[in-house]
Amino acid sequence: MFYRQKLMLALLDAFDGELERTDFQKYLFLYTQICQPEGKRDYDFVPYKYGCFSFQSYADLRNLEASNYLTYSENLKLIDKDTNYISLLDSSDRNKVVKFKEMYSKYKGDDLIRYVYERYPYYTLNSEIYERIFPTKQRYTLEVSEEERLFTIGYEANSVDTYINRLIKNNIKLVCDVRRNPISRKYGFSKSSMQNLIERVGIKYINIPQLGIASEQRTELNTLADYNKLFNQYEKTTLLHSETYLQQILDLIKQYKRVALTCFEADYHMCHRARVANALVKMQKNLVLEHI
C-alpha cells in the first residue's frame, strides 16, 4: 500500500470511518493544501464538477475498495472500523490528521464546499453547482491568452492531475499525443484513460502514432548525444515522410488555436516531440512555440 493511501484511510478513520464522497474530496484537498508543503503533496487536484477533485485519489480509493479496506458508493465507509489507521502514519502526520479533524469537522456539505470555494477559487472553474453555492457572486475566471500557439508537454514525474492543471492554466484546447505506443504503467497516461480524463475537463485528445518512434529504437539512450543521434535519424526517415500528419496538426491548430504535443519525457531535449514541433514551425513561419 502506498503511504498516500494510508493517509486517506487515516483521514477517513479520523472522521469516524464514514464520509460523503464530496466531503471526503474536500477534506483531502484541504489537508494537502494546509498540512503538506507545496511540491511534496500526496495529491494534486483539478477543477471539476463539484470543485477540487483528484483523479489519482479516485483510482486509489477504487484500489482500496478492491482490497476490502473500504466501500465506495454515495458514502465512503471503512470496512474494518476497529483498525486504527491513524497509527499507520508517521508521528507528525498522526498529529496533523487529528488536529485537522478538530479544526474542520464543523464544515459539512454546502458549508464545506463554500469554505473551499471562497479560499481556492481556481477550483470553481468547472463547477456545476457554483450558482447554487453562490447565487449572487460572479464566477471566478482564469486570465489566459487566446493567442494561437503550439506547446509541447511531457508527463514524466507528474500525476495526471498535475499534468491536467498545466493544460488548463495554459488554456490548451487540444492534446496531440505523438507516442507510437500510447501505453503507460502510470495511472492516467495510457491512451483511453488519458483521453477520458482530459476530455472530462473540456480538453480534446487525439493520438497520431505515425509520428512516434518505435520502442526498439529507444534503447541504449544514456546521453544527450545518444538522443540527438536517434532524433536526427528520425528527422531523416519518419518525419521526412510525415507531411500529411504534420499538416493535420497545423489544421488542428487553426481550429483549436492552442494545441499541445505530448509524450513521456519531462525534458523536451530528450523527446522527439521537440523535433515534430520544429518541423511544424518550419512549415508555418509565424507559429509560436512554447515548451511547458
Average pLDDT of every residue of the chain: 96
Q: In this predicted structure, what is the pLDDT of residue 214?
A: 81
pLDDT, residue 219, reads 73
List the domain range (segments joined by +) for residue 26: 3-133
* Rounded Cα gap, residues 96 and 269, in angstroms: 41
What does the pLDDT look like over 51-110, one tens digit per residue? Answer: 999 999 999 999 999 999 999 998 999 999 899 999 999 999 999 999 999 999 999 999
In this prediction, residue 260 carries a pLDDT of 98
The verdict on residue 141 lying in a domain is: no
Q: What is the pLDDT of residues 135-183, one digit of tens each?
A: 999 999 999 999 999 999 999 999 999 999 999 999 999 999 999 999 9
Whether 230 and 177 share a structural domain: yes
CB neighbours of 66 closer than 8 A, spacing ≥ 6?
Answer: none
**CB 96 within 8 Å of CB 35:** yes
Q: Is residue 143 part of a domain?
A: no
Residue 104's pLDDT is: 97
Answer with the one of 71, 100, 133 that is the final residue of a domain: 133
Instruction: Assess whether pLDDT exceeds 90 at residue 223.
Output: no
**Rg of the chain on CA atoms, in Å:** 22
Looking at the fold, whether 275 and 248 belong to one and the same domain comes out as yes
Across 29-81, the runs of DSSP E, i.e. the strands, are 46-48, 51-53, 70-72, 75-78
On whether both 104 and 203 belong to a single domain, the answer is no
In a domain, 248, yes or no: yes
Residue at 144 is within a domain: no
The torsion of the CA quartet 175, 124, 137, 130, rounded to 10 degrees, works out to: 100
Q: Reply yes or no on whether the pLDDT at 112 is more than 90.
A: yes
Residues 193 and 103 in one domain: no
Residues 90 and 19 in one domain: yes
- If one compares 190 and 217, the residue with the highest pLDDT of the two is 190
Q: How many domains does the chain have?
A: 2
pLDDT tens by residue, 25-49: 999 999 999 999 999 999 999 999 9
Residue 62: per-residue pLDDT: 97
Look at residue 142 and tell me if it is in a domain: no
Q: Which among 107, 133, 159 is the end of a domain?
A: 133
Which of these three, 99, 133, 167, is where a domain ends? 133
Are 177 and 134 in contact by the 8 Å Cβ rule? The answer is: no
Whether residues 124 and 153 fall in one domain: no
